[in-house]
Structure 1
Amino acid sequence: MSGSWAIDIDRDDVTQTAITVPDTEVGPGEILVQIDSFAMTANNVTYAVFGKPAGLFGNEQGYWDFFAERNAPGRLPVWGFATVLVSDLEGVAPGDRFYGYYPMASHAVLMPGQIGPGGFTDITPRRTTLPPIYNQYQRIDAIPDYQSEHHDYWPVFRPLFLTGWLIADQFEDEGDYGADQVLIASASSKTAIGLAHALKQRSIRPRTIGLTSRANAAGLAELGLYDEVVAYDDIASLDPARPSALVDMAGNGAVTAAVHGHFGVRLVKSIIVGKSHWDAAADDRALPGPVREGFFAPGRSQKRISDWGSRGFGERIAHAWLGFMEVAPQIATIETRTGSAGALDAYHEVLGGRADPKTGLIITP
């Protein structure tokens, strides 16, 4: 298809990329969509780092398996919007628009199943054993909390906000693990901001301390999302006797070691969420305090869907999202890049840690 493109990524070295032409041939039961826009965030770096099987999904699959066969280069998953170009399936017509998970490309071939008024589930064979939340495509016109003025904020913030909200929900569900305060590392990241906002909505809650670089500290404090903002170099100034929990959004080993070393046994919980600091030197020494545990948002989502039902889960997320959207434009402004070159530049910018946390990067193919 003229003008179509995709970004291929080396599975073993995520810094190595190439612009290629995607396969747009539609087979039985498949549709072709044109990707209208997608976001590039630190979340996507986590997808790249865990592209190969890492045990996250409980099987021998990783994030590369969503959009590429095992013998092909990686195709990075991104969140965005797309319009159907080719379809002969009942319930999915050309011109229909969907929000969901797409490859970093101008076009994608999907295989809809469980088609209904709200959308469909991709049933491409290799995807059926991957977490269901990634395979669901929502019809834009049927999303109850979608508002057109929030359009660009959906792919930038929605997945990250949901992760932050789910972490806050887990803390509340577990009595905050007995912590009086929650230290949130990489506090200017969008997932951290989602967590801080969700915790702030509680009438009774632990204090929140945002840990960030000295350069970001003043600006982050002005947002008023955290009870306190502390630069990484000043972690030792915190009261080491106070029962604390750490939520590490980036996997920076030096910061983790500093917090564990300072609080020791008074650190009651240590959770690692992402791996955007993929190239940061990890401290492999035995850390004092609790064993670090990973947080996997799809697993938490499935638990809450089981607890509350799909409708109850969706209603809670919708309410929380609309509340967050009252402040999101103050947190980040949207910057748009275009075409394959714009997508490639944005990817390397985020991968290299050069992206401005106050900017939401949107790519329009």
Structure 2
Amino acid sequence: MTTQRWAIDIDRDQIADAQIVDAPQTDLPEVAIEVTLDLYAMTANNVTYAVFGKPMGLFGNDQGYWDFFAERDAPGRLPVWGFATVSRSAHAGVPVGTQLYGYFPMASHAVLMPGKVGPHGFTDMTPRRTTLPVIYNQYQRIDALGDYRAQDHDYWPVFRPLFLTGWLIADQLEDEGDYAAQQILIASASSKTAIGLAQVLGQRASRPRIVGLTSAGNAAYVESLGLYDTVITYDAIGAMDAGITSAMVDMAGNPQVAASVHNHFKDALKASIVVGKSHWDSTDDGTSLAGPPRQMFFAPGRSDKRIGEWGSDTFRQKLEAAWLGFVDLAPRLLGIEKREGADAALAAYTETVEGRADARTGLVIVP
């Protein structure tokens, strides 16, 4: 575990503007814990968190992703998924040495306020977080995870949160009868959420055709995954059969790609679902879109729906079974690149924000 204490501050209005700052140790509040981050992933999904950092209505209140780890008058602290170890504790139920998986700030350390402590973990009850989606506030003990295996450790923060999103999207598609579409168009097909979605869809006995939409530079990699029935580059969308009923799942939120799909398929496009916004700097040129209105997919809302219908135990069991069916493929899908320290963390963030990260690599940071 690192002995240095740092964090990365991000300008809430200009997300490419980030800097390393010192994060000195402070006294622990009563029943709080401090964790030292062991490893976290940096993916395009983190850029989406930054884009939606300020309140935009996603949570049904006046909060956004910046509210998880920073007060309103402070610079943004980017949420990341990873592993951490309790290094100081003022809570008898969460002793020093406890290893956790969950949502942390992009920093070397974090202070959490455990509540609802049980055998599987706890919920962070920091006041500003109690009105944020609970799925982000739950911390799981590694030794209590039913689908954790040591050989998958590095792939967990890279794929697990994004696989969950893909699994939930697939669940919505099936629940909606695939919107009566003959094919599912998955834009940004090289993204990790798209890979998870394609794998889950591919397990169904009866399903639409799975079409990966990607850039020319990523086409060979996407084809090599073996998860899509066909791969189409963005510049070839206009050559597709516009009469085939389709539904689009857009992982990156690129308005130009959306316009190409909508205005090519028109009324044959039965649904257009937006998942992320990693193309944060792509501007909408005002082109009107034919076909259905764009709808935002919000994973916490979908998970709340299913937990309410299935119960938390059944939800967890279904997810664990699906994850174990996927994670065996992970080493074939991409390699892991580890980087260490604050400078490496800042560089990884910058590369990801600028869209320079390699889709074939899972980037993990050891603080």
Q: Same fold (TM over 0.5)?
A: yes
Match of 1:278 among 277, 280, 288: 280
**What is the alpha-carbon distance in structure 2 between the residues aligned to residue 2 and residue 162 of structure 1?**
33
Q: Greater shift after overlay, 75-84 or 87-96? A: 87-96
Counterpart mapping for 1:284-323 below 5 A = 284-323=286-325
Tell whether the 8 Å contact from 2:187 to 2:214 is kept in structure 1 after alignment: yes
Once residues 220 and 65 of structure 1 are traced to their aligned partners in structure 2, the CA distance between those partners, rounded to angstroms, is 35
SS of the equivalent of 1:279 reads coil
Q: Secondary structure at the match of 1:8?
A: strand
CA distance in 1, matches of 2:25, 2:292: 49
Report if the CA contact (8 A) 1:24-1:109 is conserved. no
CA offsets per residue over residues 318-339 of structure 1, 9 Å max, x none?
A: 0000000121111111000111
The equivalent residue for 2:12 is 11
Relative to the length of structure 2, the TM-score reads: 0.98
Q: What letter is aligned with 1:126?
A: R
Which residue in the other structure is 2:95 paired with?
Answer: 93
Q: Is 2:30–2:91's contact at 8 Å kept on the other side of the alignment?
A: no
- Taking the aligned partners of 2:276 and 2:223, their CA distance within structure 1 comes to 23
| Number of residue pairs the alignment of both structures matches | 365
* Alignment partner of 2:56 out of 54, 57, 66: 54
Paired-residue identity, %: 64
- The whole-number CA distance in structure 2 between the counterparts of 1:301 and 1:212 is 28
* Deviating more after overlay: 230-239 vs 280-289: 280-289
Q: After alignment, is 251-260 or 22-31 more displaced?
A: 22-31
1:2 Cα deviation from its structure 2 partner: 5.7
- Displacement of 1:219: 2.2
Partner residue of 1:203? 205
CA-atom RMSD in angstroms:
1.0
TM-score by length of 1: 0.99
Specify every segment of 5 or more residues in structure 1 that has no aligned partner in the other structure, as ranges.
none
Report the 3-state secondary structure (helix = DSSP H, G, I; strand = E; otherwise coil) of the residue aligned with 2:332. helix
CA distance in 1, matches of 2:25, 2:310: 39
Displaced runs of 4+ in structure 1, greater than 4 A?
A: none
Residues of 2 paired with 1:16 and 1:75: CA distance? 12
1:1-365 equivalences under 5 Å are: 3-22=4-23, 24-25=25-26, 26-365=28-367
Q: What amino acid maps onto 2:162 in structure 1? A: L
Residue 215 of structure 1 deviates from its aligned partner by 1.6
Amino acid at match of 1:195: L
Offset at 1:220? Answer: 1.2
Residues 112-145 of structure 1 deviation map (CA, whole Å, 9 limit, x = unaligned) = 0000110000000000000000000000000000
d(CA) in 2 for partners of 1:161, 1:284 = 33
Q: Which runs of 5+ in 2 are unaligned?
A: none
Moved more, 213-222 or 90-99: 213-222
Is the Cα–Cα contact under 8 Å of residues 91 and 117 in structure 1 kept in the other structure?
Answer: no
| CA offset digits 1:204-251 (Å, max 9, x no partner) | 001010000112112211221000000101001111011100110001
Secondary structure of 1:336 counterpart? strand
1:32: Cα distance to partner? 0.7
Letter in 2 for 1:194: G
8 A contact 2:46–2:80 mirrored in 1: yes
Distance 1:137 1:125 in 2: 16
Give the Cα–Cα distance (whole angstroms) in 1 for the partners of residues 225 and 318 of structure 2: 24
